[in-house]
Amino acid sequence: MRQVISGQLGDFAAIYDEDVEIVSVARPQASACEALSKRLIRSRQVPQLRWVQAADDPEAPANELPGTVDADVHAALRDQIAEASEILGELMDCARVGVRLETLSAPVCPRFHADYVPCRMLITLSGVGTEWIPNSDVDWDVFADLETAAPPVQANGQIRRLTTGHWSLLKGGAWHDGFGGVVHRSPHGVGERLLLALDPVF
């Protein structure tokens, strides 16, 4: 299995290749969004938000984001969520997308795990990106041992991190029977993060 790193939105289609587990796309507005996201973290106005919206409705995020958020921050978040939702909807052929936006000061998923979803788009808007282990580097015996807190990585393997600002699409355990999903977790001891996660809803 391999990771595709790109600067082109069209390369998200590579997620359908059998040997691809993650597609991570760099976005030109990442630096500006990170600065605005840091402001949002400091404002303490978005501890956790969850909603389901139409994938192709550009105004849907505006109805869910707090109206008290600064106008420029609000607009940047609205546009990013709307664009990511539309792309995910087209890619997965789904009419609705589940959205989660949250400020994290501690690992929400401290243990390495795989999500039982077809796929999930993760966008770290500010802070350190999600940690993950390439499928070929996972020690599956350790992964299955619920009594240990040791990272399930082989001796010659490595733990990687998704890049802040990239739009990263991860295959989940429900993608198909032959793949158990990307093994990942929240980073430890890294301060506050603003995370955006999107799931296709069928």
Taking CA 120 as the corner, what is the angle to CA 56 and CA 69, rounded to the nearest 5 degrees? 60
Convert the pLDDT of each residue in 175-196 to its tens digit.
987 788 999 999 887 788 999 9
List 97's β-bridge partners, or say none: 53, 200
Which token pair is 130?
Answer: 């999600």
Which structural domains are found in the chain, ordered by start? 2-201 (2.60.120.10)
* Cα separation, 27 vs 95, whole angstroms: 24
Do 24 and 5 meet the contact criterion of CB atoms below 8 Å apart? yes
For 171, which DSSP code? Answer: E
C-alpha of 142 from chain center: 24
Q: Has this prediction a pTM greater than 0.85?
A: yes
Residue in the block written with tokens 């977790």: 185
Convert the pLDDT of each residue in 118-137 to its tens digit.
999 999 999 999 999 999 99
